[in-house]
Structure 1
């Protein structure tokens, strides 16, 4: 099998590459700025906003499957248009597509979000992820769209943000709830979906909801950092409009997959 991982230099993309190479697959990984450093991966530079470049790469590689992980928080062209370009090219060459989406497309509510709940974005990034989903589903109804949450692991931006808040260099919100999961679990789940026939939306997140502030305390405990310097606030106090209580119900994924999605308590406790 030839697997194309778009965004292979990112945290999740790199882990998908590592696991796929270890399983004996041929893996082609794309990057834009930061080179791919995973041994055994055929690295290709790609600008996902360039539709002809995306089509040219997929036509040349002819992958059996594509895992699309690229995003840029403040760039609609990468997050939304890039997703559409990838989906179109994958459908054109007949490749199975697993598209990575995010809980950031929800506004937040007191009850968990189910797999098929419609997006309710309240900021630009959430709107871009919602637009990406719409494009992918319209272009390729057989694609899998994985909605996930905060990704933890070595080199994770989420862990670094907690470290920065513990050092007084950043602030964590006590009213933003998420369902973090480990990058190795998410990558294994993604690769398990590649050969399957599941189509449509699927929540793949950790089983435990914690606030960003609580996550900071767990990181402090895990790495032996004094938590007394942790800086916290609320989105209301900060005057920001951000998704707050966003919990993903991943019971469908738990029933579908062999991969066990570990909770944040097990990962950092």
Structure 2
């Protein structure tokens, strides 16, 4: 409300968790249909922000990967080292984005006159297991040590397959949003 009152830029970072996965591909025009409390909270925040401040940006993103410090990267390292129990799901599909690409795109949106919903995710979809293999190879780990499983057979809530379509946003940005195969094999 303060940002709207003073005409300040507001960029709210949201998540692909606002979608149920009932359809795999989601562009910026798709309405949220969350299935978890986290997704519902994110969807409610999006709605509230855009109602109060229509000139704000809602930036939905997916799995955020860095250069070794993200949660997913730590899990991959621990699984490969045998210091963690668990699996990487082969049926949990997302469009990961590199943290440097995401930060640059968020800054670009903040410095523009953009408004409304924008998707900031990588252009390719991968399973959490496939992403784990890419991270393991990048970091010199034995990818064959990464156990697989199906999220559909687990008790974890949430969507299985959510692919954020960022093409409309990407056409407006100078910042390239690289796919996991690219950012896991080439330096940022």
Q: Give the TM-score of the pair, scaled to structure 2.
A: 0.91
SS at match of 2:50: helix
Between 241-250 and 88-97, report the one with greater CA deviation.
88-97
In the alignment, the residues of structure 2 paired with residue 222 and residue 262 of structure 1 have an alpha-carbon distance, to the nearest angstrom, of 16
1:210 is aligned, of 126, 142, 145, to 126
In the aligned structure 2, how far is the partner of 1:94 from the partner of 1:194?
A: 13
SS state at 2:118 partner: strand
Q: Identify which of 75, 79, 83 aligns with 1:161.
A: 75
Q: Report 1:1-269 matches (<5 A).
A: 88-154=1-67, 155-168=69-82, 169=84, 170-269=86-185
Q: Distance in 1 between matches of 2:26 and 2:145?
A: 33
Distance in 2 between the 1:252 and 1:139 partners?
24
**For residue 30 of structure 1, what is the aligned residue in structure 2?**
none
Larger radius of gyration: 1
What's the CA shift for 1:158? 2.0
Q: C-alpha deviations, 1:9-36, integer Å up to 9, x for none?
A: xxxxxxxxxxxxxxxxxxxxxxxxxxxx
The higher-RCO structure (CA 8 Å, 6+ apart) is: 2
* Structure 2, unaligned runs of 5 or more: none
Bigger shift: 160-169 or 239-248?
A: 160-169
Which segment drifts farther, 182-191 or 161-170?
Answer: 161-170
| Contact 1:162–1:215 under 8 Å retained in 2 | no
Question: Given that residues 152 and 160 in structure 2 are in contact (C-alpha distance below 8 angstroms), is that contact kept between their aligned partners in structure 1?
Answer: no
CA RMSD of aligned residues (A): 1.4
How far off is 1:218 after superposition? 0.8
Q: Offset at 1:121? A: 0.7
Q: Once superposed, which parts of structure 1, at least 4 consecutive aligned residues long, lie more than 2 Å away?
A: 164-168
Kept after mapping to 2: 8 A contact 1:96/1:143: yes
1:221-255 Cα offsets, whole Å, 9 max, x none, are 11111122212211221133321110011111111
Alignment check: 8 A CA contact 1:144 1:200 kept? yes
Write the distance in 1 (CA, Å) between the matches of 2:29 and 2:118.
8
Uncovered stretches (5+) of structure 1, i.e. residues with no partner: 1-87
Distance in 2 of aligned mates of 1:136 and 1:151: 23
